[in-house]
Chain A
Amino acid sequence: MEARSAAENVPNRGRRLWVLVPILLLVAVVSLFSARGGSLLELVGRNPPPPDEFDVRRVEFSPGEIRVRVTNPQRDDLTIATVTVDDAIVPYEVDGPTTLGRLRSATIVIPYDWVEDEPIAVGITSSTGIQTTEEIAAAVETPGPSGEGFLGYAILGTLVGIVPIALGLLWLPSLRRASPQWLAAFMALTGGLLTFLALEALAEALELQAGLPGALGGTGLVLLGVASSYLALTFLSRRLGRGAVEKGGVLGGLALATLVAIGIGVHNLGEGLAVGTSFALGELTLGTFLVIGFMLHNVTEGLGIAAPLAEGRRASLARLAALTLAAGAPTIVGAWLGGYLTNDVLGVLFFALAAGAALQVVVEVGRFVARRAPGGLTSGHAVGGFLTGIALMYATGLLVG
Chain B
Amino acid sequence: MSNSRAVTRRQLIVGAAPVVAAAPFAGLAFAGRSQTEATHVHGETHTGHAAMIGEQVPAPGGPTDLDELTYPPPALPHQPGRVRAYTLTAHDLDIEVAKGVTFPAWTYNGTVPGPVIRATEDDLLRVHFANGGSHPHTIHFHGIHPANMDGVFEIVNPGETFTYEFPARPYGMHLYHCHATPLKKHIHKGLYGAFIIDPPEPRPPAQELVMVMNAFDTDGDGENNFYAVNGPAFYYARYPIRVRRSQTVRIYLANLTEFDLVNSFHLHGDFFRYYATGRSEHVEYTDTVMLCQGERGIIEIDFANTGHFMFHAHQSEFAELGWMGFFEVVD
Contact = CB atoms under 8 A, between A and B. Distances in A.
Interface extent on B, as a size class? Answer: 35 or more
B20 interface: yes
A131 B26 CA distance: 20
B98 A92 contact: no
A88 B23 CA distance: 11
A322 interface: no
Which DSSP category, helix, strand, loop or mixed, fits chain B's interface?
loop
B23 A98 contact: no
Contacts of B48: 90-91, 111
A144 B6 CA distance: 10
B293 interface: no
Interface string B10-37: 1001001111111111110001000000
B185 interface: no
B242 interface: no
A213 B216 CA distance: 29
Interface string A32-48: 00000000000000000
Contacts of B20: 80, 92-94, 98
Contact of A91 (B50, B100, B216): B50
Given A88-B320, A89-B23, A91-B22, A128 B218 contact: yes
Interface string A107-147: 00101110000000000011111110000000001001000
Contacts of A214: none
A88 B312 CA distance: 14
Given A82-B99, A129-B102, 12 more contacts: A63-B1, A63-B44, A64-B47, A83-B21, A88-B321, A89-B98, A89-B320, A91-B48, A93-B20, A125-B101, A131-B219, A144-B9
Given A91-B49, A128-B102, A144-B1, A62 B6 contact: yes
A193 B290 CA distance: 66
Contacts of B1: 62-63, 141, 144
Given A112-B47, A113-B47, A127 B27 contact: no
Interface of A: 62-65, 79-84, 87-96, 98, 109, 111-113, 125-131, 141, 144
Given A88-B317, A91-B21, A64 B43 contact: yes
Most buried by A among B10, B20, B50: B20
B161 interface: no
A48 to B, nearest CB: 13
B191 interface: no
Interface of B: 1, 5-6, 9-10, 13, 16-27, 31, 43-50, 97-103, 216, 218-219, 225, 233-234, 316-317, 320-322
Given A129-B103, A141-B1, A94 B21 contact: yes
A129 B21 contact: no
Nearest to A123: B225
A80 B58 CA distance: 14
B215 to A, nearest CB: 12
A22 to B, nearest CB: 45
A129 B216 contact: yes
Top 10 A-B pairs ranked by shortest CB distance? A129-B218, A88-B320, A81-B100, A64-B45, A95-B17, A91-B23, A94-B20, A130-B219, A81-B101, A91-B48
A112 B31 CA distance: 12
A112 B24 CA distance: 13
Nearest to B224: A87
Contacts of A98: 20-21, 100
Contacts of A89: 23-25, 98, 233-234, 320-322
B216 to A, nearest CB: 7
B17 to A, nearest CB: 4
Contacts of A94: 17, 20-21
Contacts of A113: 31, 45-47
A113 B28 CA distance: 11
Contacts of B99: 81-82
Contacts of B50: 91
A80 B98 CA distance: 12
B44 A125 contact: no
Nearest to A84: B321
B25 A90 contact: yes
Given A125-B101, A128-B218, A96 B17 contact: yes
Contacts of B16: 95-96
Contacts of A87: 317, 320-321
A90 B23 contact: yes
